Amino acid sequence: MLDGLVAGALADAARRREARPLTAVERAALDRAPALDARAALQRDATIKVIAEVKRASPSRGALAEIRDPAQLARQYAQGGASAISVLTEERRFGGSLADLEAVRAAVGIPVLRKDFIAEPYQVLEARAAGADLVLLIVAALEDPVLRELHALILELGMTPLVETHDADEVRRAVDLGATVIGVNARDLSTFELDRDLFGRLAPSIPDDTVRIAESAVSGVADVEHYRRAGADVVLVGEALVTGGDPVATLSEFRAVS
């Protein structure tokens, strides 16, 4: 599953590059106003922080929400107390786009994450050109030389890498990389099965000065409390917000967890 998602994302990036060459995207990235300090926005606080996700669909659940106006949803997320907004830009299985990212960036004043299957520099430059402040790097999808190259480019462009892990070896690789924002995804991207206790098993291996993000398997306040007890500074939430009917109220409940 993961290999197919990465291959599709790279094919779509190649198509976009035909219409917008690397040099043009690089100029647009460098012309952008400086990225917001996402790591500072996500630092541990008295109550848990939330990255709220604009998510129309997923391979595991299919269609979730139509989301005709991602900018309006982003404003609701900000109103509910989100510390950052994740925008899925993968087109084939998640129904996202870079246009969604640009719309969200224009609508809110908090950090915005490009969540996609990033595997080459062109995609990183696209993220900055569209206004992203964070870029997701999935350790399971990248060999160490490419992981290091993309991590360095994200930092060079003033953005923050969110380095996502799924097992102890991937956490070690992320720590060795010098990542300061590390996510643990409860969803196995090979099988799409969930393990809500994975974060708790891996969190002790993540240095204390690193922002620790628990991703996936959040359907209600009890899940947020579970992750907080296990040491999460931040939870990343998508499906519970786009399917729940009242994202402002849901976020306010989540943000109250201490």
pLDDT values of the chain reduced to their tens digit, one per residue, 258 residues: 889 999 999 999 999 999 999 999 999 999 999 999 999 999 999 999 999 999 999 887 889 999 999 999 999 999 999 999 999 999 999 999 999 999 999 999 999 999 999 999 999 999 999 999 999 999 999 999 999 999 999 999 999 999 999 999 999 999 999 999 999 999 887 777 899 999 999 999 999 999 999 999 999 999 999 999 999 999 999 899 999 889 999 999 999 999
Task: Domains for the chain: give ranges and CATH numbers.
Answer: 1-256 (3.20.20.70)
Taking the C-alpha atoms of residue 235 and residue 241, their distance in angstroms, rounded to an integer, is 12
Question: According to DSSP H, which parts of the chain are helical?
Answer: 2-19, 22-31, 38-42, 70-80, 98-107, 121-129, 144-156, 168-177, 198-202, 221-229, 239-242, 247-255
Catalytic machinery residues: 53, 55, 115, 164, 185, 215-216
Task: Report pLDDT for 111.
Answer: 98
**The dihedral formed by the CA atoms of 20, 25, 26 and 27, expressed in degrees to the nearest 10:** 100
Task: Report pLDDT for 59.
Answer: 83
Taking the C-alpha atoms of residue 182 and residue 207, their distance in angstroms, rounded to an integer, is 10
